Structure 1
Amino acid sequence: MRFILVFFTAVVIGFSGCSGVKPEKKESITSASFTRGPETANLKIEQFSDFLCPFCKKQAQVFDALRKAYPESIRMSFHHFPLSGEPEVGSFPLHEASVCAAEQGKFWGFHDAVFSAEDQPQVESAARTASLDESLLKGCMESQRSRSTVLKDFVDAQTRGVTGAPTFFMNGEKVTGMRPFAYFAEKIDPEFAAKVEAERKKRKDDLERKIDFTENGRPSQGPESAPVTIVEFSDFHCFFCQKLNPVMEQIMETYSGKVRRVWRHFPLPIHPQAPYAHVASECAHKQDKFWEFHKLVFSDPSKARSKEDFNRIAGELGLDLASFASCYENDATKKKIENDVWLGFFKQVGSTPTLLINGELLVGAKPTEKIQEVIDRLLSKSQDKESAASV
């Protein structure tokens, strides 16, 4: 499909303008047609965007606020990246129309009209808002000559590794996803950056005072004296956490006595039932059955979503059901889950599973070999220190 699209683009680019139709009066389309802001700006942003992408719309609003706040410091260039990648589908007609608007010297007027539309933007309404000459627009759209510009940008995006929108290159550095005003402003304005850093430090200090960092009493396997400690931030309803579990079991068996595994709760917002499973696991832990509970939940997370499910598991494990029920309703139990989540944020954890191996961050369901590589290096370092101390 990509080969066909690139070939089709080459054909369109190579032969557009050979229709024999006398062209309308229009401005020459250059990269400057899709650029605004002074050349002397210290922040230059190339944005790859889709006119129907809601996050692109939000990003456009951020960029608009930035230009108003720092008119001499930011230079924007727009590159077409219709996510459909196919003419006449999705946002493609809007992108073609925007190139036609550029022929009238009104690309940015059309761009702003599209991204400020309250409902799903349409070519006709955006053209009216941007005060385009409708007959010129119609002639341009019917000739399909703007298509080559859009397709050229689309292919260029692929060669530069762009796979989604919004994506932008900020002074040449690739950044993916929507970013807030502060992300850019602190790169432009030293005073603003100092305020952001001060606020960041305050939040971090406040968070540090709030968190219980101790591992005493947390679910763990392996001796406390082990030279390597793996702190595992996990979510009982996370598929990749389930996938990592047998790997961790193998690690604990292979490095028996040398590795300690400490569990930390990190239920993700995308799994709304997960926090209840974590609370129930704490209640099992209170009766010294955390790892048994952990094993049953990960064997089939779909059967660990409701209070009834947790009571059934507690019964299977032979727990005191009255104590389990009391613990499950206790706010102190829920606070233990919250503490681990705050700890995760403090340690820069943003997804699950995430491992902290003697403080080194390892994100995702890594294979056994990758985790062993880190452990072996840390064990070797530990042995070197012991050898040096004994000399």
Structure 2
Amino acid sequence: MKPNVIVALLVGLVLGFVGGRVTTGPSTKSEVAKAAPNSPAAPAPGGRRPVDPTVFKVPIENSPTHGSADALVTVVEFSDYECPFCSRANVTIEKLQEQYGKKLRVVMKQNPLSFHPRAKPAAIAAMAAGEQGKYWEYHAKLFANQKKLDDVSLEQYAKELGLNLDKWKAELGNPKFQDIITRDQALAGQLGASGTPAFFINGRFLSGAQPIANFQALIDEELVKAENLVKGGVPASQVYAKIIEKGSERAAPKAQPQQPAATVRKVEIPSDSPSFGPANAKVTIVEWSDFECPFCSRVGPTLSKIKESYAKDVRVVFRHQPLPFHPNAKLAAEASHAAHEQGKFWEYHDKLFANQKAMDRASLEKYAQELGLNVAKFKAALDSGKFKAKVEADMAAGNAVGANGTP
């Protein structure tokens, strides 16, 4: 059997083993594919998509809410302020709010996708505005100015809304907002709503920026059910809780689709990327990974086996994709390059994956010391952010070829 065929089989085993890998949104193929979740499926009779009758248990928690607690229909939206489909859907939601008035409540969940660099700062800025009672006004500003989400613009919107700027700026560093984003993204993944926008209407999943008629049809269905509950004695304020109380907490695993024909992509290999194997290898594997991702740690033994079995024929190149909801992953990636600078990337790589629960700054320095690195030089590299640009370049390159999830 030829080496490239064998490696293909091994890589297939890796992918099968980590089939539960984290993805970060609808664009896991290319820029063109971003629209895929919003592309119309085969229409149901009457011209709209069929909607799964499954009701999911979607908690509201302390999320921004617009509308009355007595609303008979609750729309929970997972959104991203830099996503063009989300801004389109926001117009639809505003029209629905006008049409249904007090019957409709909208709850916002944050899912800033990793390939939208300004989505997370925008979400945090909106939540900071919410501390002064103006989340929804700021939310509207963001979608109205989606091309201007830089720090200066975010501050300008705060000024235009009359916020106390000192208080707003101080809140931007509040760790609770990152915690909310992490919570919301975990919930989105659990419910099978990794793309944006995603909606749960009284717990029923509607994906993408669909035509308003599709929303109206589902809302009307749910209104009838809710009105019957009220007639049966359920207080309006308890309708949503009643509807979702026995709902599913997790999306059912999707059947694996038939694999399309293999696509070859042009993947650059920077000269400063860590690698093992000969430069003239018959097969090159480029891995995008995250030191805090549990699925990534499971790949190590397979890569070791490849190294052992195909030492002369296979080269493995390591590139970084620290995911936004892994708070220590990016600094760990920079630390690995500080170790690489001293010739010990793979040893440090193994240390990190062996100690995934301890990747704070003190632990990163401890591992450097244990490996006999020049710790002063190592610390200086982290303090200066010397390898920050390298990590971000790897992330951008990964996004460009569809490697938004890990590994």
Normalising by structure 2, we get a TM-score of: 0.44
Normalising by structure 1, we get a TM-score of: 0.46
- Structure with greater Cα Rg: 1
Q: Which has the higher helix share?
A: 1
